[in-house]
Amino acid sequence: MHQPNQTFKHHRRNIASVASSSTSLKVFDRIQNEEAAHFLLNVLDSPNELFEHIKKEAGAVILRITYGYTPNAKGRDPLVDMAGQTMAEFADSSVPGKWSVDVLPFCKFPTLLERIPGVY
């Protein structure tokens, strides 16, 4: 959703400098292998919760690569759960037409509502 301006190009250049070297890719590979092993152990322990394990594995890889945070290998992790909840709330709030301002654009400007007789 971001327009390709100068700041965007700067961020892309920085990410490319970190993510394109073979040394950093080996680190990412090791992280993915470790989290895949945790995922498989969790599936062996409780196969009924497969989708929860998939969400946790994806969140754990993202948190480890992005922030260096290592989630709990077994059980639930508060930051992985928080990231999942945030994504679910964002998806829910970004549904087109969910908010009245999507249907009634004049709600964006409350000062205009004061000019409409009988509203206030």
Structure tokens at 82: 């928080």
Inside any domain, residue 19 = yes
pLDDT at 119 over 60: no
Inside any domain, residue 46 = yes
What integer best gives the mean pLDDT of the chain?
84
What is the value of pTM for the model shown? 0.64
Residue range of the domain that includes 39: 6-95
Q: What is the pLDDT of residues 31-48, one digit of tens each?
A: 999 999 999 999 999 999
7-17 mean pLDDT: 82
Inside any domain, residue 118 = no
Inside any domain, residue 117 = no
46-57 mean pLDDT: 93
Whole-angstrom CA distances from 90 to 40, 52, 80, 99, 101 are: 29, 19, 15, 13, 17
105-114 mean pLDDT: 70
- Provide the domain count of the chain: 1
Q: Regarding predicted confidence, which is higher, 4 or 63?
A: 63
